[in-house]
Structure formats: structure tokens, C-alpha cells
Amino acid sequence: MQLYINNVGVREIGFLRGVSNSLVLKWIKRMHDNLKAKIDREKKVEWKGADLIEMDEIEI
């Protein structure tokens, strides 16, 4: 992934690693999916419902 992030092409990464271009694309897609899932998990906020406020607690 470091090569891809540093703007090295998919074909060149495949050549350097000795693998097919399609395998490099699968690696990139898998990393994307993993990062997206991690971000979604960190963003998730538990809904605890609204607090009940009594009218006599409201200041004007």
C-alpha cells in the first residue's frame, strides 16, 4: 500500500512484487474496505434517547 500511496502505478507494483495487476487491485480494494469499515466503526455514536426536561428547569 505504501507504494500505491506514493503514486506508484498498479502495473509497476505488480512488476516489483512479482504478482499480477489484478492481485494488486484486490489488495487495494481490500485495504479500502478495511479502512472504510474502521472509520464507520469509529464514527458510530450510540443513541441514548432525548433527555426529559421539566418546564420548571428551563431558564428564560
Query: pLDDT tens for residues 3-22?
Result: 888 899 999 999 999 999 99
Say if residue 24 is exposed, middle or buried (CB neighbours under 10 Å; 0-12, 13-18, 19+): buried
Predicted local confidence at residue 53, as pLDDT: 66
Give the SS3 label for residue 52: coil
CB contact set of 2 (below 8 Å; sequence gap of 6+): none
pTM of the model: 0.63
Alpha helices in the chain (DSSP H): 2-5, 10-17, 21-43
Distance CA 25, CA 46 (A): 35
